[in-house]
Chains A and B, each alone.
Chain A
Amino acid sequence: MLSIIEFGKDVQAPGTVMKRPCHGQVKIEGEVLRSFGKPVTASGASVPLANPVIRALSSGGLRSGLVAIFTALGLSAGAASPARAQDSVEILNVSYDPTRELYREYNDLFNDWWTAQGNPAVSVNQSHGGSGGQARAVIDGLDATVVTLALSADIDAISERTGKIPADWQSRLEHNSSPYTSTIVFLVREGNPKGLSDWGDLVKDGVQVITPNPKTSGGARWNFLAAWAWALEEYDGDEDKARDYVTALFRNVPVLDSGARGSTTTFTQRGIGDVLLAWENEAFLALQEQGEDAFDIVVPSVSVLAEPPVTLVDGNITSDAQRVAAQAYLEYLYSPEAQALAVKHFYRAWDTSAAAPEDIARFPDLKRLTIADFGGWAKVQPAFFGDGGLFDQIYEE
């Protein structure tokens, strides 16, 4: 059955009716989106099939279209059912370690925008921790509305084990559902006393390297992969030599914390180690917090393009209002304002149109490999970090 739903005055969307939840609203599935709204006409037979109009989409591209639709949807929902508009909507954003500062500010930015559209304020609760542990908490029943984790493998695990997220979740939002990206850099002590300039220097005698445990930390897995990528390139694809290199690298690690933030503390506060393998954003944050004269950032010749993804946990949604707000919460991450905020918090963003030029100038160019270059998480996870995988073998010898 087909239906056209109307969002406010100007925006209409056609689609097949999937559900009729309540309040005369319908859920439709169209070519570009699934959504809720009040139908223009009561039911399918009289809807003119030949003339599907989504005016907003035709003019401004997918993203602005979606934003416009959700804006309008918020307005119409508010107008249609004033009683429901009073219900406060709560979202729990389960995230990983280094995003604390970003989401603290983003939640305010989002709420300002969201209420300016005439929606009731959304109260966003945050939970932070090691990415893997957070995923496990969601699997074990933590009531996450959205997850914003370090690795797609962690969201895959939630999807596989609970079915609360559809398997194709990563195609639901642009750029593999990753609104911002980051990379792995070296944070060294002021003046770089050990003269560390690239991965090869980290295995020298007397160099202490700080990294979290790849078993428990998403960032540490990227550290490991970046080191591995450099070694493969250096030794012309000789895996035995690359293995010797990462073994030597981890021989130089005196402390393995369970999360990225723990390692940063060990390096910056406890004064342990000569170099911290860190998220770029975490390294910049350390500079900002500890003062520019305490540490230097060294950019290696090869690193990774880490894409921390976000998605909706469909199985935990309790109401339409919550779904709409949560969806908008994620979509708005792609808006120029939110992207500028991500850049301000030292993430690399896709849309830098609204970002301050001095913020953008901080990011040096470097060769960045994506997880696809390593064969995807489905292959990398068991081979490198699974039980008996490459990382375990390092400590078996």
Chain B
Amino acid sequence: MRANTWRSPSPMPGFGLSFGIMLAVLSIVVLLPIGALLGRGIAIGPADLWDMVNSRRVWAALGLSFRSALVASIFNLVFGLILAWVLVRYRFWGRRFIDAAVDLPFALPTAVAGIALTALYAPNGVFGQALAQLGIQVAYTELGIWMALIFIGLPFVVRTVQPVIEELESELEEASATLGAARIYTLRRVILPTLTPALLTGFALAMARSVGEYGSVIFIAGNIPNLTEIAPLLIVIRLEEYNYDAAAAIGIAMLLISFAMLLAINIIQIWSRRRIGLV
């Protein structure tokens, strides 16, 4: 037992084996590539890294990537919650079909999604023509990037919130109602606090996915420097220039910003779990 004081005892055997597999796979799949990126960054040195990132164009690209990811994820947070709620709480014709369709963005190659969205929203496309009459241009603007990111991020929120809504006991809502709470009060004080941790997880996943999205966005974004050029595209451009250091620098900047964001989301999550007494 002495050798194992760093873990709490468990009745199930096989800790050594499973822990070993976990560590090996995690290292190969996740830690090595990220380690290689960071190693490259250390080799370049922080001063040069900062120089390569600190230009108007890189900031514009990073700003665009994180801003559109944030906008798309907030949209998905609201719409995903409504979608999940409808799928769990109501029975209607075609429910299973819609339920299955939610996963499509996972399955579709992102380039296909990008091309399809571009064809629809281009000024000569079906939606694009209608929107153009209202003076709205979607394809080749930031709005187009939002559309693509909303598309690819939607399943994350739905699929994380759905099981939690299924677990919600409607007795709680009924109790709240019999105690005289208004509907909006029940929603705000009973339902939402229970869903918050799952919502935050879905939001974080969608956000992380959107920030790094490349395949669908390059088709619908105009790719104009400072305006519609996303950070992953800038990394590719740096690679095309054989400037591997600058590409790594932008990659590291994205990694650090994402890490800070996920950390913040996790802290909020822990705080909200404490608040509803789950931890």
- Residues of chain A whose beta carbon lies under 8 Å from any beta carbon of chain B: 130, 132-133, 136, 139, 157, 161, 213, 215-216, 253-258, 269-272, 385-387, 392, 395-396
Contact = CB atoms under 8 A, between A and B. Distances in A.
B219 to A, nearest CB: 8
Given A272-B123, A396-B57, A216 B240 contact: yes
Contacts of A258: 218, 223, 233, 236
A306 B140 CA distance: 30
Contact of A216 (B57, B139, B237, B242): B237
Interface of B: 56-57, 118-119, 122-125, 139-140, 218, 222-226, 233, 236-243, 246
A269 B125 CA distance: 10
Contacts of B56: 396
Contacts of A161: 242
B259 to A, nearest CB: 27
B223 A215 contact: no
A253 B224 contact: yes
B240 A256 contact: no
A256 B222 contact: yes
Given A136-B242, A254-B222, A387-B246, 14 more contacts: A157-B242, A213-B223, A213-B237, A256-B223, A256-B224, A270-B118, A270-B119, A270-B122, A272-B122, A386-B241, A387-B241, A387-B243, A395-B225, A395-B226
A136 B240 contact: yes
Given A254-B224, A272-B140, A395 B241 contact: no
16 contacts: A133-B240, A139-B242, A253-B224, A254-B222, A255-B140, A256-B222, A256-B225, A257-B223, A258-B233, A270-B119, A270-B139, A385-B241, A387-B241, A387-B243, A392-B57, A395-B57
A70 B123 CA distance: 54
B124 A215 contact: no
A271 B241 contact: no
A215 B242 CA distance: 11
A270 B124 contact: yes
Nearest to A212: B223
A396 B243 CA distance: 19
A257 B218 CA distance: 8
Nearest to A385: B241
B141 to A, nearest CB: 9
Nearest to B123: A271
Contact of A255 (B124, B222, B240, B243): B222
Which of B56, B226, B237: most chain A Cβ within 10 A?
Answer: B237
